[in-house]
C-alpha cells in the first residue's frame, strides 16, 4: 500500500524555497484529502556552526514532539538527507557533521520504533538559491568553488521538482528498507 493513500499530517521545514517548497507542492498534489501540511520557514545567518547545532537539536526535539502528539497513528518520517551524510566534503565540515547526525538519529529511530516507516532521502545536487549562494559565494576555497561552478555549468544541478517527484514515487512504491538511505539515483525498492 502506498504511504500516501491515507489521511496524513506532514511537517516540512524550510518550506519557503528550494526543495522544501517543491516537496510541499508535490505532497499537496499527492496526499489524501483532508491531510494536513504544516509548513515551517525561517531566515538564517551565516553562523554555520550555530545553525548546524540548532538544526540538529531542533530537528530531534521537533520529531520527538511530533511522535508524542500522534501516538496511535501510523507514521512515516522522511529525513531530507544528502551525500554529505555519507561522504566528507572539503569546506563542509559542519554541514557533513549535521547531516550525518540527522541520518544516524533516523536510522536509530527505525531500529527503536520499527512500526514507524523511516526514510533518509538524498535528493542529489539541487538548484536552490540558498545552496548556490553558499557554494558560489560563501566558500573561500577556489578549488572547491571551481568544482561547483563546473557542476552548475554542466547542468548537473536539478530543479527541486525532480527529486521531489522521485521521493513521491518511493513513498508510493513503499518497498524501501526501514531506515535506509535512498538517493535520487537508486531504484524504487
Q: pLDDT tens track of the chain, all 189 residues?
A: 788 888 888 888 877 778 888 888 888 888 887 788 888 776 443 334 434 554 677 788 788 888 999 998 899 999 999 999 999 989 888 889 989 999 999 999 999 999 999 999 999 989 887 777 777 777 888 888 888 888 889 998 899 999 999 999 999 999 999 999 999 999 876
Q: Say if 120 falls within a structural domain.
A: yes
Interatomic CA distance for residues 189 and 185, integer angstroms: 12
Beta carbons of 102 and 52 less than 8 angstroms apart: no
* Total domains in the fold of the chain: 1
pLDDT of residue 88: 93
Q: How far is CA 148 from the centre of its chain?
A: 20
Q: Say if 149 falls within a structural domain.
A: no
Which stretch of DSSP H or E encloses residue 57? helix 48-69
Sign of the alpha-carbon dihedral angle for 163, 168, 171, 172: negative
pLDDT of residue 55: 62
Q: Say if 147 falls within a structural domain.
A: no
pLDDT of residue 54: 46
For cell 576555497, name the residue: 141
Give the structural domain span for 173: 9-125+160-183
Interatomic CA distance for residues 25 and 180, integer angstroms: 24
Q: Which DSSP category does 159 fall into?
A: P
Which stretch of DSSP H or E encloses residue 117? strand 117-122
pTM for the full model? 0.76
Task: Read off the CATH number of the domain in which 41 is found.
Answer: 3.40.50.720
Q: Say if 45 falls within a structural domain.
A: yes
pLDDT of residue 46: 30
Q: Say if 176 falls within a structural domain.
A: yes
Q: Say if 138 falls within a structural domain.
A: no
Amino acid at each position: 500500500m502506498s504511504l500516501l493513500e491515507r489521511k496524513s499530517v506532514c511537517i516540512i521545514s524550510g518550506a519557503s524555497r528550494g526543495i522544501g517548497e517543491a516537496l510541499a507542492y508535490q505532497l499537496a498534489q499527492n496526499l489524501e484529502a483532508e491531510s494536513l501540511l504544516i509548513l515551517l520557514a525561517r531566515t538564517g545567518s551565516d553562523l554555520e556552526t550555530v545553525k548546524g547545532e540548532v538544526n540538529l537539536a531542533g530537528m530531534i526535539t521537533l520529531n520527538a514532539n511530533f511522535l508524542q502528539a500522534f501516538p496511535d497513528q501510523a507514521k512515516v518520517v522522511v529525513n531530507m538527507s544528502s551525500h554529505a551524510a555519507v561522504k566528507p566534503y572539503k569546506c563542509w565540515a559542519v554541514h557533513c557533521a549535521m547531516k550525518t547526525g540527522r541520518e544516524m538519529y533516523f536510522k536509530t529511530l527505525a531500529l527503536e520504533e520499527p512500526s514507524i516507516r523511516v526514510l533518509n532521502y538524498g535528493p542529489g545536487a539541487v538548484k536552490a538559491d540558498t545552496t548556490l549562494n553558499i557554494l558560489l559565494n560563501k566558500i573561500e576555497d577556489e578549488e572547491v568553488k571551481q568544482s561547483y561552478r563546473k557542476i552548475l555549468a554542466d547542468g548537473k544541478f536539478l530543479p527541486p521538482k525532480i527529486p521531489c517527484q522521485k521521493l513521491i514515487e518511493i513513498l508510493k512504491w513503499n518497498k524501501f528498507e526501514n531506515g535506509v538511505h535512498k538517493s535520487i539515483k537508486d531504484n524504487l525498492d
